[in-house]
Structure 1
Amino acid sequence: MSFLVIGECVADIVRDADGTERIHPGGSPANVAYGLARLGRDVTLLTQLADDPTGRLIADHLKGAGVRVETGGVPARTPSAIVGLDAHGGATYTFDIAWTLEAGELPAARPGHVHIGSVAAVTAPGAATVLAEAERLRDRATVSYDPNVRPALMGEHGAAVARVERCVALSDLVKASDEDLAWLYPGESAESVAARWLRLGPALVLVTRGAAGSLALTGRETVTAVAPPVAVVDTVGAGDSFMSAVLDALAGRGRDALGGLGADELAELLRRAGAAAAVTVSRAGALPPDRSELDAAGGESALRSGRAS
């Protein structure tokens, strides 16, 4: 099956604790597309890139992995983020982003899955295009969403929550971090928020908790998993690698199948996705594993979508 990812590309300017700077291609949706391509999936990214050095760097990076890049409007400059790393590899972000996406040229064949999220799904005026495309395609495609909350770009809190919940209601599968949920719903547990989101429409909600592991909820099951031990270089792209591995493992499963996943299947899904995130944090930048690296890190998976698609 084919994937369509809609969202931003960002040049991550990573500033180490010692002041050293490195530029990595980034942007949560772009990272998910890249991760899917690294796993051998057929994936198109609808995004915006300027004709500048960082735009060309990102385009070459994506196309080198096999991502088809389609653009909807050309911004004055490619979005960027200053990424500060603490002594433990934890990342903080300062953004320079404008998002004015227009509908681009998409493949003639409809995708089997559409992934949206991050800045692109909630930032005007381009967010309107993201949601319109997802709504247009969802009659035949499953939809996933990762809010990837960036507080500095979210605007007024109540309005931001409403925009996120609109995206949640549009989706069959939602993945969020515990930090996302803490900003959106201060003082509420991840389990409580995930249960609320299930009532909005998704069949499956996943929550990542960094070193504390992950959580999966359907209408019938609640499953937790521990994170594999790993020496962290930086955490950039960890959640996106988790998302790519999830989408790969579940490719070809419709909404009813997502909601019907059993406890053992959910545990395997979390284990596999956690292994992908662990590979990514073990090296610099948002560099997710390819198929052989993921198999080596997490073992062969009974959920491998080659058996499900």
Structure 2
Amino acid sequence: MSFLVIGECVADIVRGADGTERVHPGGSPANVAHGLGRLGREVTLLTQLADDPAGRRIADHLKGAGVRIEVAGVPARTPSAVVGLDARGQATYTFDIAWTLSSGEPPVARPAHVHIGSIAAVTAPGAAAVLAEVERVRDRATVSYDPNVRPALMGEHGEAVARVERCVALSDLVKASDEDLAWLYPGQDPREAAARWLGLGPAVVLVTRGAAGSLALTRRETVSAQAPEVTVVDTVGAGDSFMSAVLDTLAGRGREDLSGLDAGYLARLLRRAGAAAAVTVSRAGAQPPDRAELDAAGERFALRYGRVS
């Protein structure tokens, strides 16, 4: 099964609470592609990448996981994000990024699944090209979306919500954090926001809640799962690892299959994705597990919290 991920690459400059700095390859869509590659999936990333030290480092990082890179535009410099970590490892971001992807033929002739998200899906002028590519292949591919909200880059709130909801409406599966939903819909319970999105078209909406676990909602089911207890080094890339594990678990399922997922399957999906996120937060930077690591983490999770039938 082939995956196409469309979106930005970013050099994450991680600044610890003690003032130290580390540079990691990042960018939410790039992290999802990297996670899929680590899990052995055939994946292409359509992105923009500069020919500078940070860009070459990111390219080597992605290729090392088996990701095929299609560059549609070479910016003057690789986008960057200064990532500040508090004493608990929680991350905040300051960005230096532009997104100017232009329309063209999809690099994968017949991808089985397309994933979009974050800055690239809502930032002009490149967002128009991202949505055009989705609309081009949507009749033969399932689509997922993660808004990965970055308030400093979202612009006027009402317009930002409209852009996000357009992406939601094009998608079969959507994942968001409770923080994303709190910014988009202030004061609204995450379940209510997820129900709003289900009304726009997706078959499944997933909500991550950090240490509080996660939720899966369909038109017939609402399922929750707890998060594994883990010592947090930092939270960079945790949601992207969750997303990669979700896409890996659902690989090969079409739209009708997604609409019919039962409560037991959704619980297992959340458990496996939560195990992937737990591995990632236990080490520095966006370092998702490979398949052996994910299987081992899932087994430890099942032994500690019980198996889901």
Taking structure 1 as the reference length, what is the TM-score of the superposition? Answer: 0.96
Quick check: 1:52–1:77 contact (8 Å CA) kept in 2?
Answer: yes
* Residue type of the alignment partner of 2:110: R
1:100-141 deviation digits (Å, cap 9, x = unpaired):
012466445310000000000000000001000011010000
Q: For 1:108 and 1:177, locate their aligned partners in 2 and report how far apart those are by CA, in whole Å.
A: 29
The equivalences for 1:58-97 within 5 A come to 58-97=58-97
What per-residue deviation string (whole Å, max 9, x for no partner) do you get for residues 195-230 of structure 1?
110010000000000000000000100000000000
- Indicate yes or no: 2:169 matched with 1:147: no
Q: Distance in 2 between matches of 1:211 and 1:60?
A: 32
- How far, CA to CA, are the matches of 2:118 and 2:256 in structure 1? 25
Number of the residue aligned with 2:172: 172
- Stretch moving more, 250-259 or 277-286: 250-259
Pairing 1:127-146 to 2, within 5 Å after superposition: 127-146=127-146
How far apart in 1 are the matches of 2:157 and 2:106?
34
Deviation at 1:259, TM superposition (A): 1.4
* Greater than 2 Å deviation, 4+ residue runs: 103-109
The answer to whether 1:33 aligns with 2:10 is no
Mapping for residues 48-63 of structure 1, pairs under 5 Å: 48-63=48-63
Q: Distance in 2 between matches of 1:216 and 1:104?
A: 34
Give the Cα–Cα distance (whole angstroms) in 1 for the partners of residues 131 and 300 of structure 2.
35
Q: Does the CA-based 8 Å contact 1:70-1:104 persist in structure 2?
A: no
**Match of 2:289, as an amino acid?**
P
Structure 2 residue aligned with 1:283: 283
Residue of structure 2 equivalent to 1:215: 215
Q: Report the identity percentage.
A: 84
2: CA distance, partners of 1:234 / 1:161: 28
User: What is the aligned partner in structure 2 of residue 111 from structure 1?
Assistant: 111
Q: Structure 1: where are the runs of 5+ without partners?
A: 302-309
**Tell me, which stretches of 5 or more residues in structure 2 are unaligned?**
302-309
Distance 1:241 1:23 in 2: 19
Question: Over the residues paired in the alignment, what is the CA RMSD in angstroms?
Answer: 1.2
Between stretches 78-87 and 97-106, larger displacement belongs to: 97-106
Number of aligned residues:
301
Letter of the structure 2 residue corresponding to residue 51 of structure 1: D
Q: Which residue of 1 aligns with 2:307?
A: none
In structure 1, the residue matched to 2:248 is 248
Partner of 1:305: none
TM-score normalised over the length of structure 2 = 0.96
